[in-house]
Each structure stands twice: as C-alpha cells, then as structure tokens.
Structure 1
Amino acid sequence: MSSKVEIHVVDSISEVPADQWNVLADGNPFAQHEFLSAMHDTECASAATGWRPYYLLMRRGHELAGAMPLYLKSHSRGEYVFDHAWADAFQRHGLRYYPKLLSAVPFSPVTGPRLLAASHADRVMLARGAVELAKQLNVSSIHVLFPHEADLQALTDAGYMLREGVQFHWENFGYESFDEFLSKMSHDKRKKVKQDRRRVADAGVTFRWLHGADVNADALDFFYECYENTYREHWNPPYLSREFFDQIHATMPDAIMLVIAEVGGKRLACALNIVAGNTMYGRYWGTKEFVSGLHFETCYMQGIEYCIVNRLASFEGGAQGVHKMSRGLLPTATWSAHWIADSRFAHAISEFLDRETAAMDEHIDELEAHTPFKRRS
C-alpha cells in the first residue's frame, strides 16, 4: 500500500537536504541545490529583489518525491519570456496582474526540469499543487518558463496553456575539429566566419580557456568586471553579485568554464559558460573595449570550438538572437506554460496563444529554410 502524498511549501531550499533535491534535479546544473542556494544565500533572488521563494515539496511518507521551484514575483524582470502586454491588459481592465507565481531559474533563460519528479503522475500532482497554492495566495497566474519536454504533457494535463518560443542551440554531429565543422557550412557562411575570426586575430586577440580547477579568484574578478561593465553600458545594475559567482565557484567548481580574450598578455574580454554532462550553456559576457567581431568570437565560436575539442554534445547559446544562425546555432523551439486564474482572461490568452503558436511555427520553418549548413543530397 502506497504512502500518503503530502504537498507543502517552504520558503527556503535550505530546508531540503541537497542530496535528496539533486536526485530529482537529474543533473541539470541550474536546477541543482547548489545553484539555487547561491541565488538565495547571496540575496540575488529574494523578496527584496522581487523573487520571493515558494518551494513546493511533495513527500510520500518520509521520502521527497517531487519539488517545484516557485517564486512570488512582483515584476517580470529577469524572465526572458515576455508578458508585459498581458500585465497591461489586466491593468486596463482594473485587475491586478502582480504578484504572480513563477517557476523558472532566476535570471537564466535555460531549459531544464521545472516539475522535479520521477513519474508523469507525480509531475501532474506538482503542477496541480501549484494551482492550489495560486488560489490560496489569490494571485493572477502561474508561469513555468523553459521546462523540459517531459514537463509539457504534465502541465497540459494539469490545465496549463503552452506558449512556444525559439532559441538558438548548436549540436555536435561528431565533428573531429573546428575545421570539419566549418566545412559543413555553406560557402558564404563559412567565408563570413573565417573573415570575422581573422579580424579578431589581426587585432592581436588570443584566447585562453579556464575550466574547473583552473578558474581562480583573480579570473573571476576579471570576469565580474567585464560582466558588470555590460550592464553599466545599458544603465542597469547587474542582476547577480560577485558573491554569487564566488559561491557557485566554491560549490560547483567543475561547472564553470571561462573564455578569456587577451591582447599582448593584457586581458580584454571574458565569457562565462556553465558545463554539465554533455551540454554547455552560454551565460554571461563582457569586454573592456570594443573590437570588431570580439563578441561573436568570445561567446559563440570559442564555445563551439571548446565543445568540439571536449566532445560535448550541445551548446545552448542563450535567449534570442537570429544572428547566431550564421555562426552555426540553429533554431530550437522552447516552451513556457501558463495558468490564468480569471476565466475571461484565460480564454482570451488561449486564443492569442493559438495565433502566436501558428506564427511561431511559421517563423521557425522560415528560419530552418535559411540554414547556414550545406544542403544534404
């Protein structure tokens, strides 16, 4: 006879043993206890920044059978799935859109598990548990961003509506070298990549890769200086603190990979990637000065070359960016799921999503028709 299932909420992931949580996270670095703890311990994601944690836990007897990271959001910043038009529509009709519940990795448009459970039935229970929590809190909606494919059917079964988006990911088809990768591209795209790389090389720029134990505090200091500069140029404070990167460096050292660009031994730019399993995720970058082509080389081409050398299967290049296609990253459908409390708005949003999904499918088809690779005969 199966044990009784209980679902409850905690406001801190520290209440869950890391080993129990990480079994459910299934190796995804951004769903790991250590990564989420760093977000909260350093107060990057906290009630003060508009990310109040509501961690939904499902226990079967004494066993942790499921979990769903949730946040009570007072804004839509740091999400990368845009719902500002929905918020405006609520406001125009005299209704409150915020606070809302969000299941996502703060400030990180990365795919991964959001319903952390071993079975479809348990994932459905978690999704429905979130709806019950939303009703108790009297919030307008729930939004689940960039879930893994295994979550989608469970979310649909629990009454959520799906929204399609697109990112650009690179896949390793067993390339033995970067030159072999380039040889598979069309003549025009291959020529463009070579020209861009030559322009960076002619400026005297060289690159170093630091991974795991090679990353030290000095390298992180330089990275953070570059990262902070990127935000400063857009007149915004950075989402993440230096302390956050210190903590993940201490607790997840093998996950960090830095690409450092130098000229004559002087450091110029840096990109930080997260590596786990067979996948690398491009996350943050910055530079001390402008060099034509430096951004694409540091963030994408060096990342692809690193994956080829280290036989990683894929490279997720982050949110948005059609320009990434010319560098060999291809359009990949991503998803979000949404539950709306007000039935009138739920109906209107459902109709909108039907139209938007059809348009997004056409957009992805059009992008795929302009592949940077040679046509296979």
Structure 2
Amino acid sequence: MTETAIEIQIHESLSTLQAADWDACAAPECRDGGRANDPFTSHRFLAALEDSGSVGPGTGWQPQYVTAHAAGDMIAAAPLYAKGHSQGEYVFDHNWAHAYENAGGRYYPKLQLAVPFTPVSGRRFLTKPGHEDIGQAALLQGAIQIAQKNQLSSFHTTFCTSAEVKIGQTMGLLHRTGQQFHWLNDTYPDFAGFLASLSARKRKNIRKERARAQGFGGQIRTYSGDQIQPHHWDAIWAFYQDTGSRKWGTPYLTRAFFEIAHDQLRDDILLIMAEDDGSPVAGALNVIGRDTLYGRYWGCLQDHPCLHFEICYYQAIEWAINHGLLRVEAGAQGEHKLARGYLPVTTHSLHWMADQGFSDAVAQYLVAEREAVAEEIEILTSYGPFRTDKQEDHE
C-alpha cells in the first residue's frame, strides 16, 4: 500500500486560506449547523486577531499558520506564530529564556502554537475527521522542521489536549502541566440545585455575596448576538483597558478587534453587564462554545462589593445551567474560585528545544513540576466546597 504524500505549507496570513477549508479542520462539528466546540480556533476568531492588528507586525506575534495537504486537499491546520517575547501565553517560560540566554544562547524568536492571549484548552493540531493521526503527526513534524530550518531555539504548544500530549511525547516533545479552575454542570436543574450540592457554609456565603452584589444600586443584564449594540463594545473596551493596564501594562487586543467582533463574532459572545441608570459600570465578556462558556475579560469603572464574583462566576454558572452547557471556564489562575464551585483541573503543553543539553535540563525540571502540580490539585480538590455526604446539612 502506497503511503499518502503530505505537503506542508506556511501562510503568513489567513487571508490566503478559505474559511471553509480551515474550519473543516478546526470545527468539523459545525456541519450540523451548531456551535464550534472551540470557537477560539475558528477562522473568524483568528482572522479577527490578525485583521485588527492584535497579532502581526510590531506585536511579537507573527503568524506562520501551518497546513498539511494530501492529494490537494487540506487535511490539517494549526495556528502557529513566531514569537519575539513570552507575553500573552499564560504558560510561563521566562525563566527558561533567561537561563538559555545567560548560557550564551538566543531564545527569541521561538515558535508558538497557540491561540494568542487565550488560556483556554482545546485541540491545537486541527484535523479533518479521518485524518487525525497522519494530520497531527505532519503538523508536529512540520513545525519542528520550521524551527530547525530557521535555527530557532524552541517550539511550544500550549493548552493542548491530553490526547495531543501522547502524540507529542512519541515524537520526543516534553510534557508540561499546569492548573485552572473550571465549573462542571452536574445536571443541575437551576442555580438553587447547584447551591444544594454545596456545604451549608459555602451556600450561605454565596447567597450573601450575591445579595451584596445585586444590591449595588443598578441592574445586571445579559446580551448576546443581535442584542449587543455598538455602545456595549465601547464599555467593554473601557473595562478591558482598565484591567489590561493594571495587569499587563499594555492591553493585548486593539480597539479594532472589538469592532470586528461586533460584525463577525457577536453570535459567539455573551456580555454580562452591570448598569447604573442604563450606563454600564462593570462587565464581563464571555465566549460561547458548544458545551462550554468561556469567561474572558472583566473590568469595571466603579468598585462595588462582590460584583466581580457575581458577574464573572455566579451569573456565568446560572447562564450555563439555563442553556444546558456542561462547564464554565473562568480563565487562568485564581484559587478564590474554589469556594465558588470551580474545581482545579490539569492543563497541558508540549515543548521542543533545539539544544539537547538545554532540553535535558528542562525535562528534569518538568518532572518535579508535574509532581508538584498534581499534588496541589489533589490538595485543592480536597478543600472543595461540595458536600461530602448524602445527608442534608443544616444552615
């Protein structure tokens, strides 16, 4: 039997690729007319980043989209970028960069397979159904060859799936773990049903927080699809700038991204807004997947007690329950999420280093780090807010 010849292509812009070809790999489940499992790898989301100037020249994120073709048909694709820094990744390798450069090496540029500025797990080696094995292997080999050909220090794949980790490990890549906090829907009929699964003390605390937040003096409203109006994006931009300047120094997304989001992405967006006399004073931007609500950006112009918890966590849980979603992912970090029903889960990344000695040192470090992450997840889970017995506890 003759092996299928695979051709690897590099594209510096998504404009050279048909959206249908890309999404046939990124979101084949959308053929039934439903939502994408992972909206962040869709052609329209990645194109919005590029077309808005959030990635591209001057950003440190230079697109190098890689595709695999068999008999003229695109069977696999991946959002690959040449990186001039380690910002906007949420899997931190700054210490690796310092160590490599202190030893006389040049760490940047490097190759990064990721959704920029988005610490959300999902498939990174995007393949058409029926081409999973050959497509994923081709993308991995292609990315490594690009790094070698250009004498780059390393290649990284962040927030990938555990299945992709296994493929990467067979090809010699290093496995790194991290943790996030996700809320899982245990077939709750409503928010009260979720509260009933918690210990009495946690139930009482959440009710107090919700009462304080909802008593801020205004209204909390949700908007999605055509309900979202241009003035809502003005507010989200103001919130995003405020939070971004405090957290990162310079916000990653441009104003143009939100304008494109209104035209191209608003059916994938849920805004949860706190309004005072109709004017937004705080809010969160969420992205809607097929079975998951992804909390992305929060900000406020007025400080009110517990409003962050209400808008980012409790309203998101309530919306997910009401719309039959299986989970809420509320972004990176945050042990305070544990008391609010979000449990720790393992995240995964893959790493390839050109220098074997450096690779060996990183591999040794990752063994200890994986053990520490697993231990921390086990401990945190044991402190979870859920009842540990079937008997009703009294408040």
Normalising by structure 1, report the TM-score: 0.97
Partner of 1:128: 141
- Structure 1 unpaired stretches of 5+: none
Please say if 1:116 is aligned against 2:126: yes
Q: Is the 8 A contact 2:270 2:285 kept in 1?
A: yes
Deviation at 1:2, TM superposition (A): 5.8
1:369 pairs with one of 359, 382, 393: 382
Greater mean deviation of Cα atoms: 87-96 or 225-234: 225-234
Kept after mapping to 2: 8 A contact 1:98/1:140 = yes
Q: 1:264-291: CA deviations, max 9, x gaps?
A: 4442101000002111100001101111
* Contact 2:281–2:300, Cα closer than 8 Å, also in 1: yes
Change beyond 3 A, Cα 1:234–1:276: closer
Q: What CA deviation, in whole Å up to 9, does each residue of 1:73-103 have, x standing for no partner? A: 1100000000011011012111111111000
Q: 1:82 aligns with which of 84, 92, 104?
A: 92
Could you say what secondary structure the match of 1:47 adopts? coil
Shift of 1:336: 0.7
Higher alpha-carbon deviation: 329-338 or 146-155: 146-155
**Which moves more between the two structures, 75-84 or 199-208?**
199-208
Deviates more, 1:20-29 or 1:137-146: 20-29
| Alignment-mate amino acid for residue 55 of structure 1 | Y
Matched residue count: 377
What is the CA distance between 1:121 and its match in structure 2?
Answer: 2.9
Return the alpha-carbon distance in structure 1 between the equivalents of residues 314 and 150 of structure 2.
Answer: 46
Whole-angstrom CA distance in 2 between matches of 1:336 and 1:271: 27
CA drift of 1:295 comes to 1.0
Whether 2:38 is the aligned partner of 1:37: answer: no
Distance 1:73 1:235, change over 3 A: closer
Q: Is residue 214–residue 307 contact of structure 2 (8 Å, CA) maintained in 1?
A: no
Matches of 1:264 and 1:144 in 2, distance apart?
45
* Residue in 2 that maps onto 1:355: 368
Residue number among 169, 187, 194 corresponding to 1:156 in the alignment:
169
For residues 287-336 of structure 1, what are the alpha-carbon distances to aligned partners after superposition, in whole Å with 9 as ceiling and x for unaligned? 01111111111111111111111111111111111111111111010011
Corresponding residue for 2:239?
226
Q: What does 1:1-377 correspond to in 2, within 5 Å?
A: 3-26=4-27, 27=36, 28-117=38-127, 118-234=131-247, 236-377=249-390
Q: TM-score, normalised by structure 2?
A: 0.93
Is residue 101–residue 143 contact of structure 1 (8 Å, CA) maintained in 2? yes
Q: Tell me how far 1:358 sits from its aligned partner.
A: 0.7
- Cα drift, residue 372 of structure 1: 0.7
Q: How far 1:205 sits from its partner (Å)?
A: 3.9
Q: Distance in 2 between matches of 1:69 and 1:264?
A: 43
- Counterpart Cα distance in 2 of 1:2 and 1:121: 10
RMSD (CA atoms) = 1.4
Aligned equivalents of 1:24 and 1:375: distance in 2? 42
SS in 2 for 1:49: coil
Decide whether the 8 Å contact of 1:262 with 1:269 is kept in 2. yes
